[in-house]
Structure 1
Amino acid sequence: MHDLRRQALESGKTVSRKARSRVVSTTSSKANSRLNSPAQSRAASRNPSRQGSDDEEYLSDGTAWSTNSIDDILNSDDADVPADAWKQELHTRIEQIVDRKRSSTDGRADSLNAYTHIIMARYAKDDIENCMTELLPSILRSIKSETTEREAVTALKALAATIVTLDSDDIYDSVADTLKRTVSNSESTHTKISAIHAYGTAAFFGGTSEEELEDVMNFFLEIIESDGLSIDAHDEGSVVTAALEEWGLLATGVDDLEEATEAAIEAFVEQLQSSDSGVQVAAGENIALLYEKSYTELEDDEVLSEESDDEEETRHGAKMVKRYNVYRRQDQLLHDLDELANISSRRVSKKDRKTLHSNFADIRNSVEKPTRGPKYSTALDQDTGMTYGGGRMKVKINRNVEVRIDKWWKLQRLNALRRVLQAGFTHHFDENEAVSRCLPFSMLSKR
């Protein structure tokens, strides 16, 4: 299983929101005090399903920790703050998560939240690996029991971040049944969404066989085809979007998608008619991925007939050959993509129009020319006289390394990692082999 997963992650042929990592900066004694104390009246009067903004995270007592709090523990230059203070805080949080008898539901949610933010902001594999015998069952219990939506959602996010951190080839078997059952049976939309993302993360990073990977993809495809009805979330756009995103992530790990393409493309094309822009964009990106995957490099001993129109040359000189047809009504598809790329209806918000315009211009370009990835530019470089081509989308990791997102499979993987790690993505890329293996990087030229 490990070899299969490693091949999928390393394969170059075929694999977010802005947020800051944050943790509670309270001392261990204060954390324990809050964990064991009853919720204050302010918390009781507040809607428990309130979703925190990108700038704050609400705790069970109704207070919020500041986004600056992470600096107090993770990045403090204060001589009074030990360099490994975050490790002490992490272990305190793990103890609180595991000790269920002495914790409240809100307290566990607080600790799960803080634990997640710490392991997103720091690569803590060595610190959590020896705790997994007790930690994993406790996280899964919070998911299974689903005492509150908040505890279940924070546990699912904690699990996803843990899976990426551990880079284990056997964790999938331990979590798959719980995650699939939660996706299918939870009565909370937010819990279903988090469970879908955690399930996709487990399937991609947690050590699956090729057959298991395909089973999970088929499960997500059923959600997409039924508009969420297959998991009792009919017409919930955010649920369908999550399933589309995770299907796309898993598809990047499959070398040959020809067999899966026919059913998938029909479902994705149908979702282009959705009234939800998130669904439309996620479906469009999967369509572009399917077209990209239908081309592979020309083999050294392969000879094409002179009449063949199924060959394209990339900017770096590699010959790419079309292996199969993706969609039988491509002219109609291009027409639909054109409409989305130029949509002007006032029934669509200005923000959504802008999103659709920018994304579907790229998606249409790739359907017409599948070797062109996202943000491909036909403009000429004045210095070289050549087109800029792909690679305009870049993520700078540090002074010397950047990731060029010039393929749709790279964009799918980048988005998935950012969903799990948020602002901690670049830190994990530097230190976590599971992340750097997932996306090839290039060295920055020195000026």
Structure 2
Amino acid sequence: MHDLRRQALESGKTVSRKARSRVASGASSKANSTLNSPAQSRANSRAPSRQGSDDEEYLSDGTAWSTNSIDDILNGDDVDLPPDAWKNELNTRIEQIVDRKRSSTDGRADSLHGYAHILMARYAKDEIEGHLRELLPSMLRSIRAETSERETIMALKALAVTIVTIDSDDIYDDAADQLKRTISSSESMQVKVGAIHALGTAAFFGGASEDEQEDIMTYLLEVVESDGLSVEAHDEGSVVIAALEEWGLLATEIEDLEATTEAAIETFVDQLESADSGVQIAAGENIALLYEKSYTPLEEDENLSEEVDSEDDEPTTGDKMVKRYTVWRRQDQLLHTLDELANISTRKVSKRDRKTLHSSFADIRNSVEKPTRGPKYSTALDQETGRTYGGGRLKVRINRTVEVRIDKWWKLQRLNALRRLLQGGFTHQYDENEAVSRTLPFSVTSKR
């Protein structure tokens, strides 16, 4: 067992407890051939990152010249450019995407890339709404045909950002089945990752019912539990991470997770043993979310009990929180595992990954022990009040008067999803796009 664990660490694979028995019983030859493939080499050479890794995959397509020229239009630095020059550029991109007969594979990829880049940086619902009946079929056709990896990835990105821009309840039904087929059948790991993120976006923003969202969560949980094997991506860390991230996003939308928790927590705890730090952190954040969701505010007609969280060292503002169910029966064992990850020192893990693991799992462990504590909760004492500083230290500034306080795990899950999708355009979209702003509540900063 120790030797197998060491081999997994050295290969950069994500291997959980359940998967090790499968690996030991005959997968070694397949693993060796996979390791020599170009896709696996790229995946293993890339340092895991919790911020921006998916965006880098989407945009690492050799079209920097196109992005730069669009940026010039968006920023309006040239005095000769009219303020709405980006609208003209967007219309050109739309025409190129829709007119497939006169376009090449590379040309469509460029057009989809430019279209998505503009939609991330500008709120353009009025500009694209009238073209939706032509745009969606064209994007789905590019995804279905998978003529080239780059065109497919760009089409998935364009589809996802279109869903957030349009904010319609009708898109999920049009896109879900094709996205599932792409996740299962594509030979490209980057395409699978893009399709998983697009599926999560469609389910969250595109009109899926709660039952449909729970079905997608079950589907994503199978991907995680099988270490990607259920979608022909065995031990592909990037695919497992994407499934974990989108499961976490959809879980924030489900009011009562008690029925889902038992199967999910076992899978996530199992993934804490992965050799991929990105998998470990994504699983850990979902564990923290499950603990957070197990507490709800005390109702007006309820009596106080020992289940109410009322620590003496914590601020007393806000609702009293009541524990509704037990998330994990072996919590002491889980806390021990989280302690180890928060203090990991092995040289087999890079210095950068160790730092990320330390920071992430200190927060995760804190929330498992005290589920009312969100990310970046500070136990340091305020010298004036004698109380802990508490949560809310993690903030995102939108403008001079508005900031988003990320004091709950559900908020962090949603923030990460929006940043993966919108990248640098997040704050502009928050200002302009109701679908984005209602996803995260904001607080008004008083002027001094």
Mark yes or no: TM-score above 0.5: yes
Q: Paired residue for 1:122? A: 122
Q: Is the 8 A contact 2:58 2:157 kept in 1?
A: no
- Deviations 1:380-423 (CA, angstroms, capped at 9, x unpaired): 23444432110111000000000000000000000000111011
Q: Is the 8 A contact 2:58 2:153 kept in 1?
A: no
Equivalents in 2 of 1:331, 1:411: separation in Å?
Answer: 25
Q: Paired residue for 1:58? A: 62
The change in CA–CA distance for 1:244 and 1:18 in structure 2 (over 3 A counts) is closer
The change in CA–CA distance for 1:409 and 1:269 in structure 2 (over 3 A counts) is same
Structure 1 residue 88, shift from structure 2 partner: 0.2
Q: Paired residue for 1:311? A: 309
**Residues 364-443 of structure 1 aligned to structure 2 (within 5 Å):** 364-443=365-444
Q: Paired residue for 2:28? A: none
Structure 1 residue 231, shift from structure 2 partner: 0.4
- Deviations 1:186-229 (CA, angstroms, capped at 9, x unpaired): 11100000000000000000001111111000000000010000
Equivalents in 2 of 1:217, 1:334: separation in Å?
Answer: 25
The change in CA–CA distance for 1:132 and 1:422 in structure 2 (over 3 A counts) is same
Structure 1 residue 74, shift from structure 2 partner: 1.0
Equivalents in 1 of 2:268, 2:71: separation in Å?
Answer: 43
Equivalents in 2 of 1:51, 1:124: separation in Å?
Answer: 21
Is residue 99 from structure 1 mapped to residue 99 from structure 2 by the alignment? Answer: yes
Structure 1 residue 77, shift from structure 2 partner: 4.0
What stretches of structure 1 move > 6 A for 4+ residues in a row?
A: none
Q: Paired residue for 1:11? A: none
Is residue 166 from structure 1 mapped to residue 166 from structure 2 by the alignment? Answer: yes
Q: Paired residue for 1:17? A: 51
Any gaps of 5 or more consecutive residues in structure 1? 1-15, 23-49
Any gaps of 5 or more consecutive residues in structure 2? 1-49
- Deviations 1:31-77 (CA, angstroms, capped at 9, x unpaired): xxxxxxxxxxxxxxxxxxx9855xxx523xxxx31765444201214
Equivalents in 1 of 2:417, 2:443: separation in Å?
Answer: 20
**Residues 189-338 of structure 1 aligned to structure 2 (within 5 Å):** 189-305=189-305, 308-312=306-310, 315=315, 316-338=317-339
Q: Is the 8 A contact 1:186 1:192 kept in 2?
A: yes
TM-score by length of 2: 0.85
Equivalents in 2 of 1:431, 1:317: separation in Å?
Answer: 29
- Deviations 1:168-196 (CA, angstroms, capped at 9, x unpaired): 01110010111111111111100000000
Equivalents in 2 of 1:52, 1:217: separation in Å?
Answer: 27
SS in 2 for 1:106: helix
- Deviations 1:4-29 (CA, angstroms, capped at 9, x unpaired): xxxxxxxxxxxx6359x99xxxxxxx
The change in CA–CA distance for 1:347 and 1:251 in structure 2 (over 3 A counts) is same
Q: Paired residue for 1:142? A: 142
Q: Paired residue for 2:357? A: 356
The change in CA–CA distance for 1:400 and 1:255 in structure 2 (over 3 A counts) is same
Equivalents in 2 of 1:384, 1:17: separation in Å?
Answer: 35
Two-structure CA RMSD over aligned residues (Å): 1.8
Q: Paired residue for 1:10? A: none
TM-score by length of 1: 0.86
How high is the sequence identity, in percent, across the aligned residues? 75
Q: Is the 8 A contact 2:378 2:389 kept in 1?
A: yes
Greater share of residues in helix: 2
Q: Paired residue for 1:444? A: 445
Structure 1 residue 89, shift from structure 2 partner: 0.2
Equivalents in 2 of 1:392, 1:364: separation in Å?
Answer: 17
Equivalents in 1 of 2:147, 2:71: separation in Å?
Answer: 32
What is the letter of the counterpart of residue 104 of structure 1?
S
Equivalents in 1 of 2:100, 2:180: separation in Å?
Answer: 24
What is the letter of the counterpart of residue 370 of structure 2?
K
